[in-house]
Amino acid sequence: MEPNSTILVTGGTGSFGHAFVPAALEKLKPKKLIVLSRDEMKQWEMARKFEGDLRLRFFIGDVRDRERLYRALDGVDYVVHAAATKIVPTAEYNPFECIKTNVIGAMNLIDACIDKGVKRVVALSTDKASSPVNLYGASKLASDKLFVAGNSYAGEHDTRFAVVRYGNVMGSRGSVIPFFMSIRDKGVLPITDPRMTRFMISLEQGVDLVFHALSDMVGGEIYVKKIPSMNIVDVARVVAPDARQEIVGIRPGEKLHEQMIGIEDAPYTYEYDEHFKILPAIHNWSADPFRIKDGRKVAEDFTYASDTNDAWMSDAELRGWIEDNAGRIGAI
C-alpha cells in the first residue's frame, strides 16, 4: 500500500488497535490514521498516548450505524475491521447484540466501503469461526463469508476485501494470561478442562499478518497465521507455578480445542512459509494463479487445529514472553 494514504481502523481502541496504531504510523507512513470506536473514554486515554502526532484522528461511531460509517469513510483508502462482540459467554447470553455488531455491522461496512471507494479492506476473524460451536464463532463465520463475497458484490467498483484469522492473542483484554495473573495471588487457578489446548499469538504477529494481507491480497483470501499451541494446564503452571489448579468445567459455547482450518476448507487451502491461505470456493477463485502465487496445495484431509498442531510453545518461551511483556499485559 502507498504511503500518505488514509487508513481507518474500526474498534481501534481495543487490544489490537493499541498494537496496530503505533506500528501503522511507523511502517505504513499514512497521511491520516482514523480510529473509529464507541467509547469516548477509551479514545481520550488512547489520544494521550499519541499526543502530538497530528496524523492520528479519533471518530466516535459504531459499525451498527450505517450513516455514521459513510461519514467516517469519506476519503479513506484502507480499512482494518477489528470491531466485534467477541467474548464467548457474552455472545451466548446476548445473541441479538452479537449479531447486530458482528453480522449487520459487517454488512454496513462492506456497503459503505464500496460506495465510498475504499481500495482495500482487511477484516479480523477468529479461530472460533472454523466449524463454530458458539454464536460468536458462527457470527464471525458469517462475517467472513460476507467479506469474501464482498469482492463480487462490489461489481465494477475497485474495493477489495480479505480476512485474517488467528487464535488466542496473548495478553489481550479478557484473555487467559492476564486473567490468571490477576488472581494468582489467591493461590487457586480455575481450569476449564485439563485437556484444553489453544493457539498462541502475540499482538505484534497479528498486526504483521494484517500488513501482509494488505500488500498480498487480490480479494477474497482468508489468511491463517502459523502459530504454536499450548495446553491450558501448562499456561497456568507457567503463570503461577505454586497455585493449585481447580477444574471448573467448560463455559457455555466453549471448545475443548480450537481449529482455524477445517477439512471442508482443505480443497481451497494453500500453504506458505509463515501462513496458510484459504481461497474462495466461489467463482473458481481458488484456482486463480494470482491468488495462489507460490502456495503449495495442502492434503485433502488437512486440518489446522490446536491439539494436532506441529508447533508447540514451551514453558520457557511463554515465561520469556511474560517477562518481556509484564508491564503491558492486560493493560490495553
Q: What is the pLDDT of residues 206-242, one digit of tens each?
A: 999 999 999 999 999 999 999 999 999 999 999 999 9
- Record: fold of 6-167+202-226+260-305: Rossmann fold (3.40.50)
Q: Are 262 and 131 in contact (CB under 8 A)?
A: yes
pLDDT tens-digit profile of 246-296?
A: 999 988 778 899 999 999 999 999 999 999 999 999 999 999 999 999 999
Q: What is the mean pLDDT of residues 66-94?
A: 95
pLDDT exceeds cutoff 80 at 13: yes
The pLDDT tens digits for 117-151 are 999 999 999 999 999 999 999 999 999 999 999 99
Residue 115 burial (10 A CB sphere; 0-12, 13-18, 19+): middle
- Work out the average pLDDT over 6-33: 96
What is the 3 state secondary structure string of the chain?
CCCCCEEEEECCCCHHHHHHHHHHHHHCCCCEEEEEECCHHHHHHHHHHCCCCCCEEEEECCCCCHHHHHHHCCCCCEEEECCCCCCHHHHHHCHHHHHHHHHHHHHHHHHHHHHCCCCEEEEECCHHHCCCCCHHHHHHHHHHHHHHHHHHHCCCCCCEEEEEECCEECCCCCCHHHHHHHHHHHCEEEECCCCCEEEEECHHHHHHHHHHHHHHCCCCCEEEECCCEEEHHHHHHHHCCCCEEEECCCCCCCCCCCEEECHHHHHHEEECCCEEEECCCHHHHHHCHHHHCCCEECCCCCCEECCCCCCECCHHHHHHHHHHHCCCCCCC
> Model pTM greater than 0.85?
yes
In the predicted model, what is the mean pLDDT of residues 2-15?
A: 94
State residue 329's pLDDT score: 67
Q: Which of 116, 128, 140, 226 is catalytic?
A: 128
For residues 203 and 262, the answer to whether their CB atoms sit within 8 Å is: no
Q: What percent of the chain has pLDDT over 70?
A: 98
Average pLDDT, rounded, for the chain? 94
Residue 185 near residue 199 (C-beta atoms within 8 A): no
Query: Annotated catalytic, 27?
Result: no
Average of per-residue pLDDT across 88-101: 95
The reported pLDDT for the residue numbered 331 is 46
State mean pLDDT over 194-205. 94
